[in-house]
Amino acid sequence: MFDFLVSFIPRAVMQSIPLLYGSTGEILTEKSGNLNLGIPGIMYVGAISGVIGAFFYEQSVPAAEMNAFLAIAIPFLSSLLGSFLMGLLYCFLTVTLRANQNVTGLAMTTFGVGFGNFFGGSLIKLAHSEVPSIALSATSNFYRASLPFADRLGWFGQIFLSYGFLAYLAIAIALLTAFLIRKTRTGLHLRAVGESPATADAAGINVVRYKYLFTCFGSMIAGLGGLYYVMDYANGVWSNNAFGDRGWLAIALVIFTIWRPNVSVLASILFGGLYILYLYIPTGTQFAVKELYKMLPYLVTLFVLIIVSLRKKREDQPPASLGLHYFREER
């Protein structure tokens, strides 16, 4: 049993990190009243932007001469830039042009996934790769570097210290976001914008700025989830559509945690665990059952959604203005 946990938990954690990034980003976005269904697309863009950055850096410098800082910073910054632009586009359409959030989000997911796969495919061609994927193992090695003494600490090291820096960053960002939302003045203002923009506006809070700022921050955080997936989880290998439906799972996680990033740290591990549980459960010859296990995260989320609506606790409801746009002179 113990051995099982020691091998299971690290895999669940690695599975959880993209979800954690995605849900933290989406929570921050939703707290500003924007229901960004473009998150799955944005995570693709975050991933491919990082891949593009890494690709050109790897192409320009021989592997042996790569600078650790640049190898990390270039993909990191290009990922942030890519997802930032997506967030900006979403805000421009929904906040400035007051477009329907659902429709805009879905269009962004179409666009983002297409963008990722298109440039992924193009890079694969550029690299004259034999297989339909592109491997950036040199960059990935920098991203996957864990503490040198982690191996020597046995099970403790395996469970807690065996991950690349992006994993710890994800947890740090989640906790920081939770603190920001609950305890700071900015968080108070942000929540007010999401609950009742008219109130926030009357109180002198710049609603448009808050929506732009936190939706873009949210996008950038979510984009890092894509970056983590390629550079760390997938060992730097990009193949089209490999990221799958994790973006939607991240949105599920938002509901599951009732808009709490700190809860998300553990809940994402639960989701990650459910996602790979089938690998550990003896199904005999019935391989089909594993597909049912993959259904579990969505089922439990649905369950939470229903329970929360049954209980009607005011604090547990979605931000009251979620999905609505705000126009001051409307009367």
Selected from 106, 127, 175, 324, the binder of other proteins by CB under 8 A is: 106
Question: Which residues in 9-68 contact other proteins (CB under 8 A)?
Answer: 35, 37
Selected from 85, 195, 213, 235, the binder of other proteins by CB under 8 A is 195
Stretch that binds other proteins, among 138-146, 185-193, 221-229, 262-270 (CB under 8 A): 185-193
Please say whether the beta carbons of 276 and 15 come within 8 A.
Answer: yes
By CB under 8 A, the residues from 145 to 184 that bind other proteins are 183-184
Q: Which stretch binds other proteins (CB under 8 A): 18-26, 135-143, 187-195, 225-233?
A: 187-195
Q: Of 39, 171, 200, 227, which lies in the binding site for other proteins, with binding defined by CB under 8 A?
A: 200
Structure tokens at 62: 């021989």
* Angle ∠(281,273,111) on CA atoms, nearest 5: 120
- For residues 212-241, which are near other proteins according to CB under 8 A? 240
Q: What string marks each residue from 246 to 285 as x (binds other proteins by CB under 8 A) or -?
A: --xx-xx--x------------------------------
| 133 DSSP β-pair partners | 239
**134 phi, psi to nearest 5 deg:** -130, 130
Site for other proteins in 283-302 (CB under 8 A): 287-289, 291-292, 294-295, 298-299, 301-302
For residue 41, give the nearest of 247, 225, 216, 220 by alpha carbon.
Answer: 247
CA distance 261 to 268: 10
Asked whether position 85 contacts other proteins by CB under 8 A, the answer is no
Bridge partners (DSSP) listed for residue 239: 133
185-182-271-255 Cα dihedral, nearest 10 degrees: -90
Q: Which stretch binds other proteins (CB under 8 A): 4-12, 13-21, 219-227, 305-313?
A: 305-313
Backbone angles phi, psi at 133, to 5 degrees: -155, 170
Would you count residue 5 as binding other proteins (CB under 8 A)? Answer: no
> Using the rule CB under 8 A, which residue among 62, 148, 204, 282 binds other proteins?
204
Which of the stretches 65-73, 90-98, 161-169, 263-271 binds other proteins when contact is defined by CB under 8 A?
A: 90-98
Give 5 or 202: the residue with its C-beta nearer to other proteins. 202
Determine the Cα–Cα distance for residues 275 and 269; give it in Å rounded to an integer.
10
Give the side-chain half-sphere CA count within 13 A for 237.
9
Q: Which of 88, 135, 169, 305 binds other proteins (CB under 8 A)?
A: 305
Single residue of 172, 202, 266, 279 touching other proteins by CB under 8 A = 202
Q: How far apart are CA 297 and CA 105, in angstroms?
A: 22
- Answer yes or no: are the C-beta atoms of 75 and 66 closer than 8 Å: no
Restricting to residues 110-149, name those near other proteins by CB under 8 A.
110-118, 120-122, 125
Contact region with other proteins (CB under 8 A), list: 2-10, 143-151, 158-166, 323-331 = 323-331
> What does the alpha-carbon distance between residue 164 and residue 167 come to, in Å, rounded to a whole number?
6
Length of the chain, please?
A: 331
Q: Cβ(254)–Cβ(24) under 8 Å?
A: no
